Every structure is written in structure tokens, then in C-alpha cells.
Amino acid sequence: MSEEAGNIDVVVFEDGESLARAVAERTATLIRASAKAGKRPVLGLPTGSTPLGVYRELCRAHREAGLDFSNVVTFNVDEYYPMDPGSPHSFHRYMWENLFSHINVPPENIQIPRGDVPKEGIEEHCRAYEEAIARVGGIDFQILGIGRNGHIAFNEPGSNRESRTRLVTLHAASRQDVAPGFSGQENVPTEAITMGMGTILDAREIVLLAVGEHKASIVRRALEEPVSPEVTASFLQVHPNVAVYLDPAAASRLTRPGVARAIGEADVPQQRERGP
Ligand code: PGA
């Protein structure tokens, strides 16, 4: 029971927790189906505050229900540059603390762009990242947050729809949003390595998550305004298999009648499944 905005299923959950449970359940379903089919599920993973609930639920599913990650392959969407993987600010640290240390995904199946490659090695590192994704057959399920400037991963306003994994300069708004964690914007790295828009749009299934009133106006722009590189999340409108999961606050500025309907967890639509 959801409506489609173009190709996008927009689903409004009661709260962030039920949203997180739904994403974790979809992920678990994919992992189990892949195991049955003898395939390796490939997940694209974000960082930030939004996916924390999803990671908590996945850890719980492993701990309590024995969800097996031994066959899972993961690619994170971005990392600051420069950034030591051991730094408390790194997305490496975030992923190990919030997910990887608590599940049985083999370390060799985990890919995160490295913020500690020398500048002259970045291009090669980015090319290798793309090749690694291609080698495992592409990303099956890409989970995304959205920045207040509409970025997905660190595809900042102005990013090209065909862009691939690359070094980017962070937008002032992106640096401002994470400034408290760095004790001030001046300490936030000015660059990052990010999967490109083209990389993300190649994923077979995508779910974009947004929670909170501070995301409401950018969610409306991404879903209801024409596709524009100024709001890179709007590129998702052209993807054939995207769902947007919102809490009521993040959905509060949607104006187009019928774009989204509040539904209960039991009604979550099965996304159109391709792949495993
Ligand atoms: P957040 O970040 O989940 O911390 O709000 C989202 C993003 O910038 O992609």
C-alpha cells in the first residue's frame, strides 16, 4: 500500500525504529535468498546517524536469529580524505564499531574507500574500487542517507549523473553538518572519496532513508522537483527500483497528493526483486 512518485515507492513509517526494522528485514531477506541461491549478496552501505538503527537491527538479527553474513560482500559509499582508517572520525571506525565487529562478515569481503592513500594513488584507488564492484557482479542492495543539501554519498550539488568513484571537495553545508563531531568545522576534512552517481545508479535495488524534520524540505525537493544535479538525490527518480523510507517528520513537507501514504510495518511493499 504505497504510491509511486515516478519510479519511487515512498513509504512513511510510524517512527525511525520501525523504518530501521523494515530496512534490516529487507537486507536479511536478500541475504537469506542469496544463500539459498548460492550467491554472494553485495551490499552498498552508508554512514551517518540515519543508518545507525538499521545496523543495530542487523547486529541483533545476527546475535538473536543467527543471520549469517559469511557470504556477504560490502562496499561503503565514501570516506573522508585525508583520513586515517584508525581515526575515531573515519568511516572505517564507524563501520567496525557499529556493524562489522558484531557480525560474521569476513574482513576480506569488506570494502571502504581509503582515506590514507597518497594523493598520487587516489585515481588508481578509485579505479580499483569500481573494478572490485564490477568483479562481484555489481551492488544488489544500496542503502543511502540524504544530506541536507541533497547529497547521496558525497555526491555534492553539481555532481554529474555519470560520475564514478572519485575524490571530491566537500560542500560547506556537508562540513557544517558534521562539525560538532570534529569539534568545529575547521577540523572537518575538505575532501572525500565517494562512489559516483553512476556507481550508485548501477545498483539493482536502492533504499533512501530520511528521518527528522531537518530532512523534510530536501526530501520534498528530491522527490517532487525535476531531476537536477543541484539535488543529487533527485537522480534516483530515474532508477527503476528505488524506495524512499521516511518517518512522519521527514515526510511532512511532501505536497503532491498521493506521493506517500503512512503505512504500518506489515504493509511494507516488497520491492521489485531482481537478482537474488
Ligand atoms: P545523516 O547524514 O544520516 O547523519 O543525517 C546523511 C548524509 O549526509 O548522507
Q: Which atom of ligand 1 is found nearest the CA of 154? A: 9
pLDDT tens, position by position, 12-63: 999 999 999 999 999 999 999 999 999 999 999 999 999 999 999 999 999 9
Helix (H) or strand (E) holding 222: helix 216-224
The arithmetic mean of pLDDT across residues 74-103, rounded, is: 98
State pTM to two decimals. 0.93
> What was the pLDDT predicted at 265?
43
* The pLDDT of residue 8: 83
Residues 190-249: tens digit of each pLDDT: 999 999 999 999 999 999 999 999 999 999 999 999 999 999 999 999 999 999 999 999
Rounded to 5°, the CA angle 152-243-153 comes to 10
For residue 263, pLDDT over 60 is answered with no
**Sheet strands side by side (includes 166-169):** 78-81, 191-194, 166-169
Who lines ligand 1 at CB under 6 A?
48-50, 145-147
- H-only helix segments in 48-111: 52-65, 91-98
User: Which residue, by CA, sits nearest to atom 7 of ligand 1?
Assistant: 147
> Catalytic residue numbers?
78, 149, 151, 156
Given phi > 0 = left and psi -120 to 50 = alpha, else beta, which region is 153?
A: left
Query: Which grid cell sits at 20?
Result: 530501521
- What is the per-residue pLDDT across 107-160, written as a single tens digit (0 to 9) for each? 999 999 999 999 999 999 999 999 999 999 999 999 999 999 999 999 999 999
Strand, helix or coil at 260? Answer: coil
Mean pLDDT of 171-199: 97
Residue with grid cell 543471520, as numbered in its chain: 67
Residue 275 is predicted with a pLDDT of: 46
pLDDT at 256: 74
Q: How far is the CA of 95 from the centre of ligand 1 (A)?
A: 14
CA atoms within 13 A on the CB side of 251: 24
* Position 121, amino acid: G
Q: In the predicted model, is pLDDT for residue 274 greater than 50?
A: no
Residue 7 confidence (pLDDT): 63
Q: Ligand 1 pocket test: which of 23, 146, 236 has the largest number of ligand atoms within 8 Å of its C-beta?
A: 146
User: What mean pLDDT do residues 74-97 have?
Assistant: 98
pLDDT at 83: 98
